Amino acid sequence: MLIYPDIEVKDGRCVLLARGSFEDPKAFEIAPLEAAKKFAAAGAERLHVVDLDGVEQGGRHNADQIVEIIRAVDIPVQVGGGVRTLAGVDWWIENGAARVVLGTAAVKDPTLVREACARHPGKIVVSLDARDGYVMIEGWREQTSFTAGDMAQRLADSGVAAIIFTDIDATEGEREATFAETSALGSEISIPLISSGCVRTLDDVSVLKHIPGVQGCIIGWAFFERWISVKDALAVAREPVTEAEFI
């Protein structure tokens, strides 16, 4: 299983949103570029970088800092946040993003997903965030009528490289719900699944590794708050899964 350290950028700073709220983001002293270099030096094989101002407003707002990260680290960087047009996808690919993440745009405009996948095979990822069973868009502020399973099935033939799934209820409440919803989605779809927002301990990494369909997990809070280390998370993620563990 792949580990994606999560760097979220707002107003040029590293921040994380408590319960997805833009009202009171927690800012960290470390600069986005420095965080990226530290994750890479610790052995990270991928990075997940989000333009939070883009999530909130659409468009590119922290592109300079993110492109600086892409150029500075020698590992693939997956970029999301505010990408809602084909031109926006093209721009990020041209500026070095290994993958581009579509969230709100993927739900509102499935044609965009198909066109982006056709133009950039293997480089388009869709992010689905669910609350009370339904996909949320516009930075978790607007509920749709689709479940994550519904949306994933709609995307099945589009050529999406992976789906990032966040169970919002679990990030806000009971831990077990995260794995239940993730496990259910993983069993429904053939597209590789990347879990986001549920890792707090190394045990969480171990559980996710054993869920069918899950090929990666995005970790933010646990790394920035030093609950776990990149090195230890990678070690757990790389441990082989034996048949005995399923008996």
How confident is the model over 82-92, as pLDDT tens digits?
A: 999 999 999 99
Contacts of 166 (CB under 8 A, 6+ apart): 127, 128, 129, 130, 195, 196, 197, 198
Q: What count of residues does the chain have?
A: 247
Taking residues 168-195, report their average pLDDT: 78
Task: Tell me the per-residue pLDDT of 107-147, one tens digit each, with 9 for 90 and over.
Answer: 889 999 999 999 999 999 999 988 887 888 877 777 888 88
Name the residues annotated as catalytic.
Answer: 8, 129
pLDDT of residue 152: 87
Q: What is the rounded average pLDDT for all residues in the chain?
A: 89
Given a contact cutoff of 8 angstroms between Cβ atoms, the answer to whether 56 and 23 are in contact is no
Query: At the topology level of CATH, where does 2-246 sit?
Result: TIM Barrel (3.20.20)
Separation between Cα atoms, residue 81 and residue 54, nearest integer Å = 5
E strands, 145-209, in order: 162-167, 193-196
- Both tokens assigned to 31: 């600069």
Per-residue pLDDT at 177 exceeds 70: no
Distance (Å) of CA 9 to CA 18, 66, 94, 188, 229: 14, 8, 20, 32, 21
**pTM recorded for the entire structure:** 0.92
Domain ranges, ordered by start, for the chain: 2-246
Of 17-21, 74-78, 81-85, 185-189, where does mean pLDDT reach its minimum? 17-21
Residues 42, 229 contacting (CB under 8 angstroms): yes
- The pLDDT assigned to 139 comes to 73
